[in-house]
Structure 1
């Protein structure tokens, strides 16, 4: 039914695509002006709506370059209840700064993490205090002219027709790839058939000559917020309630299902703000599970939005993820990123 309604909105899709095309043309021809800066400003973004792995990529790059430079992370802070420029602190809540910036700050507490919907203004507030800026989800923010752009496209979306919003899931069409310095196909399966790579590269090479990389999700150990790691030995005897508020929970569910005796899923929209009723439903669902060994699992992003009192009252674990490059491409990717930050 939802798919049918989205196709009914195809005239709106055509109008949206036309507006995006005109807007990009105006920026490309300098009719609309972009602001650039005299130090590295690296953008990570995507063409589709959510679920491409921008946060793991931001963490990967920050981990790579922070030993050499004072790099600030700037995000819009999607889902926060505040507006304007704000420094992110470890003790903040997701309502104040957004779940993804808060996750990054808690993992890299000595790094500067900021939020601002106006990326140019945000950079201006910190430019005298940092060596470089790494922007999460700013590929469509054309008011800013980055020194380097990394475009993420998830593997599954490239297996389907590329259709703009609201009928499809794309903010921009594939010609927008031409603005990227690097293109990364994310969330790939462990093995990509040769015909799969050929199909993807045929699609992308019509629009860009940028180096093309492939990465997958590398799931880490289940852990609590206090750092306790879950022992994998008894997972096959355990029932897990999986609570998610992310764009695409299916890969996570597919990963966890064979590892547990049984999984039960409660899926909420991306960046969902958990209400008291939601928390009561999660608690009740967990209590109703008839098993001697049972736990609750959520994502690292979702746990930023769960109240500390709820976390301490339940056997709640989160599953960190990282980027892992395929085809021995990590060293090449790392070298290109370091050059983008003038480290080589």
Structure 2
């Protein structure tokens, strides 16, 4: 029987200006392009993307255009791409994946099977936590010619995660789908991780680029192979920009020379330098650290200045690391199913320097769009609750 090969990609976060850097934005696109080149070079039967193709729900025209340009390589090679919607890109109306699909051979996976060779692929878009209990997971039966079933999800599940870092129980999913699954391909967690639950293999592909300073493994995709009903998987690493987390500890007498000596211990040429300044606060500023790292060749520099901070006992606190306040706001908004106009207003408020600084004129900028969105939402709710006699 012919072997079926599928490249599993996830969490590409296209358009993400990590550390407010256009260099990092381009890195995320370059890493995605590498995955497509791998798919073409290995002549796979399909590419599967398990969510967060884009970093936000309202990417710019330029970001959509570059994504479509990269995916054009798949079209020319006759390789389809299938995917699901992640929490970062989820919208109430037309999903971005559907929009991209109009430009090429990109299709959303559903609870009905999509046959690729001898693999029946299924997909369920990212489910908000508050809707988990009432969500439907039941999948249609696979076609007779399928030897292997694979479900694609975008959730944090235990296993493969430990219970402390997961939001839901994987066995709950397996119990609710209604069919036997050979594999569950996951997105949302940005590091590769896998487990075996009974006869079902479960794995995270990992992200194609590093999204956090403490992410030790970045730039991975998974090559799935199915022959005679046997599913195997090979992890492939991408050629990504090097990432250098550096701690510089200052004593009371340490200055710029101490900083430069520490930086010269690392290879910073064209790297992302993630600096953490600790110890005694002195004459060296965070801006001085940025300048010094750039002079040592770093392409992108981010600095966390922890000097002079009071240590707190955080053992009883639920602490989550975020790259910035903007990321924290965006992550929370993506967890809510707001209309796209809300995301657009939020983005303008935080980034548009031409927005009026006084409250009333600024509010006038958004009033008509927000009122229109509210009317549409209430009309939709009303329509959904009206009973029609037949």
- Please tell me the TM-score bracket, short chain as reference: 0.3 to 0.5
Larger helix percent: 1
Instruction: State the TM-score, normalizing by the size of structure 1.
Output: 0.33
Instruction: State the TM-score, normalizing by the size of structure 2.
Output: 0.30
